[in-house]
A and B are shown apart, each in its own frame.
Chain A
Amino acid sequence: GAGVSQSPSNKVTEKGKDVELRCDPISGHTALYWYRQSLGQGLEFLIYFQGNSAPDKSGLPSDRFSAERTGGSVSTLTIQRTQQEDSAVYLCASVGSYEQYFGPGTRLTVT
């Protein structure tokens, strides 16, 4: 069946521009995570959506980062006024029973 998809797969943007990253989770999964992985680093938790509950935003690094999840399905991560340190791979994970399924990621490069 269909897995988790993310778009775009690669995004190059100029410093100061806004970007939107999209995640299409697996149908029926109620929980969704956003992580980022900088080159050679581990996974940094960003935000967690669970059903209709208020999202856990404790991992967002600054107020330039925001995310929403519409209709309990598709999620969009928005980064405003991008900085070079925002360059990373942004990963989305869709959560089923006991298992998380990761998308292929969006590689963001801020020049």
Chain B
Amino acid sequence: GDSVTQMEGPVTLSEEAFLTINCTYTATGYPSLFWYVQYPGEGLQLLLKATKADDKGSNKGFEATYRKETTSFHLEKGSVQVSDSAVYFCASNDYKLSFGAGTTVTVRA
């Protein structure tokens, strides 16, 4: 079945550092891909999405490009802030929604 594998954390960064969280998927079809974010004490929020190959999702300075050839959807941000500290989940939706295990990111001032 479909599955998502994302980089294990935790990840600790200094403010203004570059962040990458790797995500790869397996699917029999052509899934839509998502990144969700969960801030401390809050619920899951959709961060960005891409619905077809070569699409780039972007939001709040985060970007991820749907790479069909490498079955990847890596999340990047060029300059993180303390407020970006959260757990990030990669997800794919082909026949059904599958989530990665989550990556905890802590940004220190």
Contact = CB atoms under 8 A, between A and B. Distances in A.
- The answer to whether A and B interact is yes
A105 B43 contact: yes
B99 to A, nearest CB: 4
A100 B93 contact: yes
Given A42-B102, A98-B51, A93 B97 contact: yes
Interface string B90-101: 010100111111
Nearest to B99: A43
Contact of A91 (B44, B45, B100): B44
B102 A98 contact: no
B101 A100 contact: no
Interface in A34-53: 35, 41-43, 45, 48, 50
Interface residues of A, number: 20
B58 interface: no
A8 to B, nearest CB: 15
A99 interface: yes
A100 B51 contact: no
A60 B98 CA distance: 15
B42 to A, nearest CB: 9
A105 B41 CA distance: 12
Contacts of B102: 41-43
Nearest 6 CB-CB pairings of A with B: A42-B101, A42-B102, A102-B44, A43-B99, A98-B32, A48-B96
Interface of B: 32, 34, 43-46, 49, 51, 89, 91, 93, 96-102
